[in-house]
Amino acid sequence: MTDVDAGAPPRARTRPRLTRSQRLDRRLRGGRLIGIDLARFLALAGMMAAHVWNTEFPDGDATLIHIFVQGRAAALFAVLAGIGIALSTRRYLTGEVPARDSAGGRASALFADPSNVASVRARAGTGFGAASRALLMRGVVIALIGLTLGLLDSGIAIILVYYGVTFWLAIPFLRLPVRALFGIAAVWALVWPVVSFGLRTAWGVESTFENPSWQSVTDPDLVSDLFVTGVYPVLTWIVYVLVGMGVGRLITRAMDASGPRDAVARDIRPLMRVALRTLIAGAVLAVAGWGLSQLALGPLGGLDAIARGDMYTPGVMGRIEAQSMAEGSGFGLVPLDSPWWLASSLVHSGATLDLALTTGTSLIAIAVCLMIGLVVRGAGAKLLAPVAAAGAAPLTVYCAHIVAKTVMDSSIPGDRFSAGEEYLWLVSSPQLWLMHVAGALAIGLVLTLLGRSGPLETLVRWLSRQAALPLKRG
């Protein structure tokens, strides 16, 4: 027998040390977060394709993959942002004790004395105030990174500043129930495109293509660009975030019903049901968005009415031009030349049917990735580990992609718009896309081997947790 101080508190039970393989298997077994990470990687790969594999040379036509991913990859990114908000603010709103306390030590080491749980909660910060401060800081850091990337001549519409501001706009909705989140998203998707169309018609303003940067922070038009007239207008993209927050709430409920997080065998059925319902909802939205748009522009005469506008050539050629426009991109906004565009699913326009279609495709992608994450095992899980790790570091990977494209563009003599034939592959090509995807996977592999989060994700998480700490009074 050993001597034990009867007055000392009982020691916390220590968990057995796991090997890297065991940690990886445990992380992958639950599927819940791995599925989301896989979806994030899919969004990143899609955005890369939209940026570096968008044009067929020498004819200059859009590539098939660009036609498929334009607008949809960014929408998936935004819906996943909403899911991330629901997951990251959950512990603040529920009073769940964090894995580490505010001093950086493991909070679980204090659980031997139940009275310490309240102390850990108090030090870490809980409640709506803590969640709001954490999300506000997260948005600030992301926006600051976006302003910095906006200084680069990347040829890419940087989403991060809009993304960060959307986080701020999501704060009032943190405590709303799932049905309210979905309901507000649906109503806003119906109302806001019409309001935006009216405002921009009155202002005479089309899309703004300039990236927000440190050079534009004093521009009086910056606020209207961010909220209404930019490439990713916040008042449009909040729809995706609200839908994502609702899905995130459903996922966390299913996680709670699946059993303890560190259980060796968890019940995957609650999460599988959420994934299946998400898949069905996504399919309904996508089909409705596409089908109603085809009906409006075709049998109901929308495309013919558009073609009769002043900006199109009279006759058959005008309809061909309008059809070409309908197959292109709105670059964030519904075109102002005809109100019929409001009844279309024009990609990246923010029209109601575009929001329905792209929300639907996003939900389908998320559901499929969740299912894969739930059923993957063994060697397959280990093969997916670098993919999931890259997806778990979306900010790091996105920034690396922007910087890499800027560097590659700078190696083209002259500029990318007048590149010689031997340099066209550096402008748009499948091999260029594969290089960027390989770079993302390399980041994921390094993070997997190190057992670390992405450096920018670590920074954002630490600053958010500091912001969530209780405010000192007096």
* Closest residue by Cα to residue 84 from 230, 244, 265: 244
Going by the DSSP 8-state scheme, the letter that residue 225 receives in this structure is I
Average pLDDT, the chain: 85
pLDDT tens digits, residue range 307-355? 998 888 888 888 888 888 888 888 899 999 999 999 999 999 999 999 9
pLDDT tens digits, residue range 134-153? 999 999 999 999 999 999 99
pLDDT at 167 over 50: yes
pLDDT tens digits, residue range 455-464? 999 999 999 9
**Residue 124 pLDDT class (50, 70, 90 cuts):** low
What is the model's pLDDT at position 377? 80
**Residue 10 pLDDT class (50, 70, 90 cuts):** very low
Packed helices 20-29 and 378-391: angle between N→C axes, nearest 10 degrees = 80
Tokens of 286: 């996508």
Q: How far from 256 is each of 37, 81, 251, 259, CA to CA, in Å?
A: 19, 21, 9, 6
Who has greater pLDDT, 54 or 349?
Answer: 349
pTM: 0.88
pLDDT at 22 over 70: no
Least confident of 14-23, 231-240, 407-416: 14-23
What's the whole-number mean pLDDT along residues 114-121? 47
Alpha helices in 61-126 (DSSP H): 64-69, 72-94, 115-124
Least confident of 68-72, 169-173, 358-362: 68-72
pLDDT at 4 over 50: no
Q: Which residues pair with 100 in a beta bridge?
A: 106
Tell me if 329 sits within 8 A of 360, measured CB to CB.
Answer: no
Tokens of 266: 């968890």
pLDDT tens digits, residue range 242-283? 999 999 999 999 988 876 655 445 678 899 999 999 999 999
Least confident of 120-129, 231-240, 264-273, 317-326: 120-129
pLDDT tens digits, residue range 379-437? 888 899 999 999 999 999 999 999 999 999 888 877 666 666 777 888 888 999 999 99
Least confident of 4-8, 38-42, 103-107, 321-325: 103-107
* Coil, helix or strand at residue 88: helix
Gap between the Cα atoms of 473 and 418, Å rounded: 61
Least confident of 58-72, 164-178, 352-366: 58-72
pLDDT at 104 over 70: no
What's the whole-number mean pLDDT along residues 9-16? 49
* Coil, helix or strand at residue 268: coil
Least confident of 50-59, 169-178, 389-398: 50-59
Tell me if 147 sits within 8 A of 214, measured CB to CB.
Answer: yes
What's the whole-number mean pLDDT along residues 156-168? 96
pLDDT at 173 over 60: yes
What is the model's pLDDT at position 174? 96
What is the model's pLDDT at position 418? 64
What is the model's pLDDT at position 261? 56
Residue with tokens 């596409």: 290
Residue 46 CB coordination number (10 Å): 23
